[in-house]
């Protein structure tokens, strides 16, 4: 295996004179009269290592196998490069081709491919410059998220992936069953869990349990939605981060969400600058300006009621009318964050009837302590709320949803949390891949997750 300090990323920074062994996959080969040049990459860096093989070092039939996509080990001396474009290069002493890649058949060429072409090549696209940068950023973002919470004493909770509860309002669910194929109707009582079970649509309810024991907690795991959504920002399987805090109201919740987003951007700007530069160059010229704006400017904070008033006097012909009581549409959210304020906007206090049952009712009797964080280009990146901690109020809300299939007895434990040591608490959910889109400038969510699951697509 490649040992620490020997990744291509490290070799590029080493001083000439060192004897090293580089391993990786060939991007391109160029032949000169007396030398061959090989661009080698092991996924650690957006920059390739240039390997120089003097003519005659290895037989022509070996050179012929060094084509785009082939896997190599090269041992030799790092030397100062006489050419432009790199400080050092690897002068090969011994070279091994582990796996060739027939150039007549290998799908990746040394030219640019567009993202749609690469999508069906899920087993190979990780080797490209673009996906190398994207997935290094993804790794750095995950690390940044854990760092943010760990630094603040939050406990990482593993919420269950298989769930029996239906977090109302979070969309339709995938059923989990061991029912054999060919059985027309499955008897639920005979099924594996003896009850209906689903893939989780949210870890929030379980996170609340832990928040009322550890005060500050967060989840970070896969989430599933069986919606037939076909857009550049929806997946059937995606990752979500859900912090949940006891002794926390909506104001604290907003403060944390803002600090959270800013911290992520700061850390990735610090850790992945070369990758972001690559992505900015090829995909989003405004990338750095957008990221630096998010870090620098205080987020705008307005109420839903204020947002409605602003939109109504915007002098626009909205496709969907703006009136108090209906949810904000994409066009409205975009106007607020991209045109009116030109920075992230937190909208709070939405009408009760358009939000989930667990959100805390405000004193006005009409709104709940909900918040959505909107960012330019992406739209809603965070949704959260202060939770209803008053037992009787919560019970009445659940009963009021009985016509929509909510059963009070299914929420027995959720209600008990309000009977035993309850306290005001709040939290939110952030779509990991939405944040990835914002950070990388990628326009389609399918290009920021290794193996996207969307309606009709579960390959790889």
Site for RNA in 27-56 (CB under 7 A): 28, 30-35, 37, 39, 50, 52
| Least distance from RNA to the Cβ atom of residue 210, Å | 19
- Which one of residues 262, 360, 387, 434 is an interface residue with RNA (CB under 7 A)? 434
E-strand ranges in 208-321 read 216-224, 237-246, 300-303
Rounded to 10 degrees, the C-alpha dihedral 396/397/400/402 comes to: -100
Compare residues 179 and 222 and give the one whose CB is closer to RNA.
Answer: 222
Binding residues for RNA restricted to 328-357, rule: CB under 7 A: 329-331, 334
Compare residues 270 and 342 and give the one whose CB is closer to RNA.
Answer: 342
Compare residues 292 and 331 and give the one whose CB is closer to RNA.
Answer: 331
Binding piece for RNA, criterion CB under 7 A, among 18-26, 234-242, 254-262, 339-347 = 234-242
The phi-psi region of residue 377 (left if phi > 0; otherwise alpha if psi is between -120 and 50; otherwise beta) is left
Residue 371 DSSP SS3 = strand
Binding residues for RNA restricted to 236-265, rule: CB under 7 A: 236, 238, 240
Compare residues 165 and 457 and give the one whose CB is closer to RNA.
Answer: 457
Compare residues 86 and 165 and give the one whose CB is closer to RNA.
Answer: 86
Burial letters for 176-194: b for 16+ Cβ neighbours within 10 Å, e otherwise? Answer: beeeeeeeeeeeeeebeee
| Least distance from RNA to the Cβ atom of residue 434, Å | 5
Alpha carbon of residue 437 to chain centroid: 7
The phi-psi region of residue 379 (left if phi > 0; otherwise alpha if psi is between -120 and 50; otherwise beta) is left
Binding piece for RNA, criterion CB under 7 A, among 10-18, 62-70, 144-152, 189-197 = 62-70
**Rg of the chain on CA atoms, in Å:** 26
Residue 162: other Cβ atoms inside 10 A? 11
Query: What is the total residue count of the chain?
Result: 460
Compare residues 106 and 186 and give the one whose CB is closer to RNA.
Answer: 106
| Least distance from RNA to the Cβ atom of residue 293, Å | 20
Q: What single DSSP character describes residue 336?
A: I
Closest C-alpha to 395, from 362, 424, 358, 369: 358
- Which one of residues 206, 250, 433, 441 is an interface residue with RNA (CB under 7 A)? 433
Binding residues for RNA restricted to 176-215, rule: CB under 7 A: 202
Closest C-alpha to 152, from 263, 239, 240: 263
Compare residues 118 and 291 and give the one whose CB is closer to RNA.
Answer: 118
| Least distance from RNA to the Cβ atom of residue 345, Å | 14
Compare residues 95 and 445 and give the one whose CB is closer to RNA.
Answer: 445
Q: How many residues bind RNA (CB under 7 A)?
A: 74
| Least distance from RNA to the Cβ atom of residue 351, Å | 13
| Least distance from RNA to the Cβ atom of residue 82, Å | 5
Binding piece for RNA, criterion CB under 7 A, among 102-110, 134-142, 275-283, 410-418 = 102-110
Whether 185 contacts 150, CB under 8 Å = no
| Least distance from RNA to the Cβ atom of residue 292, Å | 22
Q: What's the sign of the alpha-carbon dihedral 290, 292, 294, 300?
A: negative
Binding residues for RNA restricted to 361-420, rule: CB under 7 A: 379-383
Alpha helix positions (H), 299-420: 304-312, 330-334, 391-400, 412-419
Binding piece for RNA, criterion CB under 7 A, among 14-22, 292-300, 326-334, 408-416 = 326-334
Compare residues 178 and 231 and give the one whose CB is closer to RNA.
Answer: 231
Tokens representing 191 are: 């099924």
Closest C-alpha to 38, from 124, 110, 134, 121: 110
- Which one of residues 84, 195, 404, 419 is an interface residue with RNA (CB under 7 A)? 84
Binding piece for RNA, criterion CB under 7 A, among 25-33, 191-199, 262-270, 361-369 = 25-33
Contact between 229 and RNA (CB under 7 A)? Answer: yes
| Least distance from RNA to the Cβ atom of residue 17, Å | 15
Alpha helix positions (H), 243-362: 250-271, 273-282, 287-296, 304-312, 330-334
| Least distance from RNA to the Cβ atom of residue 52, Å | 5
| Least distance from RNA to the Cβ atom of residue 420, Å | 27
- Which one of residues 21, 71, 93, 119 is an interface residue with RNA (CB under 7 A)? 119
- Which one of residues 45, 67, 216, 352 is an interface residue with RNA (CB under 7 A)? 67
| Least distance from RNA to the Cβ atom of residue 330, Å | 3
Whether 372 contacts 347, CB under 8 Å = yes
Compare residues 266 and 327 and give the one whose CB is closer to RNA.
Answer: 327
| Least distance from RNA to the Cβ atom of residue 115, Å | 8
* DSSP bridge partners of 41: 25
Burial letters for 323-349: b for 16+ Cβ neighbours within 10 Å, e otherwise? Answer: eeeeebeeebbbbbbbebbebbbbbbb
Rounded to 10 degrees, the C-alpha dihedral 134/137/139/140 comes to: 180
Compare residues 331 and 339 and give the one whose CB is closer to RNA.
Answer: 331
The CA-CA-CA angle for residues 428, 431, 432, to 5°, reads 120
């Amino acid at each position: 295996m490649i040992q620490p300090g020997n990744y291509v990323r490290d070799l590029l920074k080493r001083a000439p004179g060192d004897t090293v062994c580089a391993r990786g996959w060939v991007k391109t080969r160029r032949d000169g009269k007396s030398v061959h040049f090989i661009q080698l990459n092991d996924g650690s860096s957006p920059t390739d290592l240039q390997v120089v093989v003097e003519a005659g070092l290895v037989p022509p039939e070996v050179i012929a196998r060094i084509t785009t996509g082939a896997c190599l080990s090269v041992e030799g001396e790092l030397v100062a490069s006489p050419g432009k474009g790199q400080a050092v290069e690897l002068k090969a002493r011994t070279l091994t081709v582990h796996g060739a890649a027939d150039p007549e058949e290998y799908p990746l060429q040394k030219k640019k491919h567009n993202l749609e072409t690469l999508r069906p090549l899920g087993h190979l696209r990780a080797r490209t410059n673009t996906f190398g940068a994207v997935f290094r950023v993804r790794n750095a973002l995950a690390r940044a998220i854990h760092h943010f919470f760990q630094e603040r004493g939050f406990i990482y909770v593993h919420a269950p992936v298989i769930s029996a509860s239906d977090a109302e309002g979070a969309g339709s669910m995938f059923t989990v069953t061991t029912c054999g194929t060919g059985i027309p109707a499955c008897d639920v009582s005979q099924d594996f869990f003896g009850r209906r079970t689903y893939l989780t649509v949210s870890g929030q309810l379980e996170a609340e349990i832990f928040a009322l024991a550890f005060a500050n907690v967060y989840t970070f795991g896969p989430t599933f939605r069986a919606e037939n959504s076909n857009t550049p920002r929806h997946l059937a399987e995606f990752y979500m981060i859900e912090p949940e805090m006891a002794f926390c109201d909506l104001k604290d919740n907003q403060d944390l969400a803002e600090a959270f987003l800013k911290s992520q951007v700061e850390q990735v700007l610090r850790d992945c600058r070369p990758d972001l530069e690559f992505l900015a160059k090829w995909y989003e010229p405004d990338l750095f300006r957008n990221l630096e704006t998010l870090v620098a400017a205080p987020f705008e904070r307005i109420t839903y009621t204020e947002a409605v008033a602003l939109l109504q006097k915007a002098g626009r012909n909205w496709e969907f009318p703006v009136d108090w009581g209906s949810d904000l549409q994409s066009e409205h959210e975009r106007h607020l964050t991209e045109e009116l304020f030109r920075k992230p906007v937190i909208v709070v206090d939405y009408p009760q009837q358009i939000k989930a049952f667990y959100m805390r009712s405000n004193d006005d009797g009409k709104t709940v302590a909900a918040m959505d964080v909107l960012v330019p280009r992406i739209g809603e990146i965070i949704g959260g709320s202060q939770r209803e901690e008053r037992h009787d109020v919560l019970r009445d809300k659940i009963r009021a949803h009985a016509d929509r299939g909510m059963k009070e007895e299914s929420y027995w434990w959720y209600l008990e949390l309000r009977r035993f040591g309850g306290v005001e608490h709040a939290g939110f959910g952030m779509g990991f891949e939405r944040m990835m889109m914002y950070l990388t400038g990628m326009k389609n969510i399918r290009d920021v997750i290794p193996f996207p699951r969307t309606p009709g697509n579960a390959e790889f």
